[in-house]
């Protein structure tokens, strides 16, 4: 039977490979926000497939009005186990009736092919939102042939939704054909107003993966500026695999008394903290989007950012762009920001990424793919 588009909310199943969980409260927060943006238009359920250290287990919860299922898999779990887990989920959450009308995957990986194939068999359209920077960092190129083959099955889905034009270019250069539409990440646009911390405070909000985020470079540049400007501070919010190494670098720094480590915090706490600072620093070597840049703007902070891809199109006149791995340029930019201590800023680009605007974009894409699927069904008759 052909599907019809009506005023009722569509049944959409979101499947996420990155999603906040008890092991990592910041994991895939941007995925969570994009899913939440679809709720005005869709009857949403969330299935998160996440890495774990124990045998396969599932945790069910209700969060922000959504039914969220987190299934944790040990490394190298057999694909047959994952297929069974998915079918069990469908049976228990949809009882094989009133199935999802659309499947929205977030961050592709080979194990999601079981869902793509299932959806094709059921005549359910599939869209994929992509965030992965591996297409730009040579990781995709180094994959074995069978994994590349599975990624190239993306061409079989109804829409591929990279979060930036920069990411789309690199996906296509990697040989991933398909029907593309760019849909940005969601950005919180309502930040609390608050008093600034004393002096001038730089802030970093990042996963502590130094190879990508180059936190070490920020610490070194800040240390150099601190030698001549004492009334400054650096605040580092985030956790990750290099957390201990970064903490040791701070401990060994001559500016350690002015560097503050917060660890990984829930998104609500980050949102409350950021407006207290004066400038955000993003020193990455590669970014697919750069949510923190736009959230800093929403909080009224200018940004120092490397020309690392995704964030570049969102920078505004008050920001300072620097080259990747340019410590001298970073020091100069920090000094420049210090001269603007009492300046007020107005930013506008982040408004394009509000939950309402992103949700509206996704709603239109859902309608398009459902209409296309209906037309194909009619032609087959």
Give the start-to-end residue ranges of the domains of the chain. 10-186+354-380, 200-352
Q: Which tokens hold the place of 78?
A: 């057999």
| Intra-chain end-to-end CA distance of the chain, in Å | 10
For residue 2, pLDDT over 60 is answered with: no
Residue 291's H or E segment, with its range, is helix 291-298
Correct CATH for 200-352 of 3.40.50.2000, 3.40.630.30, 3.40.640.10, 3.30.2010.10 = 3.40.50.2000
- 10-186+354-380 and 200-352 agree in CATH topology: yes
The tens digit of pLDDT for each residue in 355-368 reads: 999 999 999 999 99
Task: Compute the average pLDDT of residues 183-198.
Answer: 91
What pLDDT does 1 receive?
37
Q: Which tokens hold the place of 173?
A: 């250069």
Q: How confident is the model at residue 190 (pLDDT cuts 50, 70, 90)?
A: confident
Q: Which tokens hold the place of 381?
A: 């008759």
What pLDDT does 4 receive?
41
What pLDDT does 169 receive?
95
What pLDDT does 54 receive?
83
By the 8 A CB rule, do 128 and 154 touch? yes
The average confidence (pLDDT) of the chain is: 93
Q: How far from 182 is each of 128, 132, 301, 310, CA to CA, in Å?
A: 11, 14, 26, 12
CA 328 to CA 325: how far, in whole Å?
A: 9
What pLDDT does 174 receive?
93
By the 8 A CB rule, do 79 and 114 touch? yes
Q: How far from 298 is each of 164, 207, 315, 373, CA to CA, in Å?
A: 19, 20, 12, 38
Q: How far from 334 is each of 165, 233, 363, CA to CA, in Å?
A: 29, 11, 41
The tens digit of pLDDT for each residue in 19-74 reads: 999 888 888 999 999 999 999 999 999 999 999 988 899 999 999 889 999 999 99
> Cβ contacts of residue 154 below 8 Å, gap of 6+?
108, 128, 160, 176, 178
Write the class of the CATH domain 10-186+354-380: alpha beta
Of 161 and 24, the one with more pLDDT: 161
Q: How confident is the model at residue 381 (pLDDT cuts 50, 70, 90)?
A: low
What pLDDT does 6 receive?
44
> Cβ contacts of residue 235 below 8 Å, gap of 6+?
201, 202, 203, 204, 259, 260, 262, 273, 277
Q: Judging by beta carbons within 10 Å of its beta carbon (0-12, 13-18, 19+), is residue 252 exposed, middle or buried?
A: exposed
By the 8 A CB rule, do 13 and 49 touch? no
Q: How confident is the model at residue 154 (pLDDT cuts 50, 70, 90)?
A: confident
> Cβ contacts of residue 377 below 8 Å, gap of 6+?
2, 3, 123
CA 133 to CA 243: how far, in whole Å?
A: 21
Task: Write b or e for each residue in 181-216: b if 16 or more Cβ atoms lie within 10 A of its Cβ, otherwise e.
Answer: bebbbbbbbebeeeeeeeebbbbbbbbbebebbbbb
What pLDDT does 267 receive?
85
By the 8 A CB rule, do 309 and 166 touch? yes
Of 304, 235, 310, 311, give the one whose Cα is nearest residue 274. Answer: 235
Of 33, 2, 3, 6, give the one whose Cα is nearest residue 20. Answer: 33
């Amino acid at each position: 039977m052909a599907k019809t588009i009506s005023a009722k909310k569509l049944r959409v199943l979101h499947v996420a490979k990155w999603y906040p969980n008890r092991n990592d409260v910041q994991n895939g927060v941007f995925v969570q926000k994009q899913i939440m943006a679809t709720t005005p238009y869709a009857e949403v359920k969330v299935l998160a497939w996440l890495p774990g250290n124990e045998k396969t287990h599932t945790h069910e919860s209700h969060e922000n009005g959504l039914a969220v299922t987190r299934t944790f898999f040990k490394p190298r779990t057999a694909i047959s186990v994952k297929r069974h887990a998915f079918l069990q989920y469908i049976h228990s959450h949809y009882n094989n009736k009133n199935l999802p009308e659309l499947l929205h995957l977030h961050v592709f990986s080979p194990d999601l092919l079981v869902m793509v194939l299932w959806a094709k068999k059921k005549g359910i359209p599939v869209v994929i939102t992509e965030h992965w920077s591996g297409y730009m960092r040579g990781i995709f190129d180094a994959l074995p042939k069978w994994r590349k083959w599975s990624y190239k099955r993306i061409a079989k889905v109804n829409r591929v939704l990279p979060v930036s034009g920069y990411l789309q270019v690199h996906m296509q250069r990697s040989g991933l054909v398909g029907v593309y539409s760019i849909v940005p990440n969601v950005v919180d646009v309502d930040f609390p107003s608050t008093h600034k911390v004393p002096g001038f405070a730089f802030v970093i909000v990042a996963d502590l993966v130094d190879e990508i985020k180059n936190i070490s470079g920020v610490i070194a540049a800040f240390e150099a500026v601190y030698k001549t400007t004492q009334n400054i501070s650096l605040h580092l919010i985030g956790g990750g695999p290099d957390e201990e190494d970064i903490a040791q670098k701070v401990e060994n720094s001559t500016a350690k008394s002015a560097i503050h480590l917060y660890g990984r915090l829930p998104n609500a706490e980050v949102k409350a903290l950021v407006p207290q600072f004066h400038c955000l620093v993003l020193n990455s070597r590669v970014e697919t989007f750069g949510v923190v840049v736009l959230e800093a703007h929403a909080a009224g902070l200018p940004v120092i950012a490397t020309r690392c891809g995704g964030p570049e199109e969102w920078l505004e006149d008050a920001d300072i762009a620097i080259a990747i791995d340019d410590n001298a340029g970073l020091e100069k930019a920090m000094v420049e920001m210090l001269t603007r201590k009492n300046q007020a800023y107005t930013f506008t680009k982040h408004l394009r990424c509000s939950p309402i605007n992103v949700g509206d974009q996704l709603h239109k894409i859902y309608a398009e793919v459902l209409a296309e699927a209906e037309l194909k069904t009619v032609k087959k008759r």
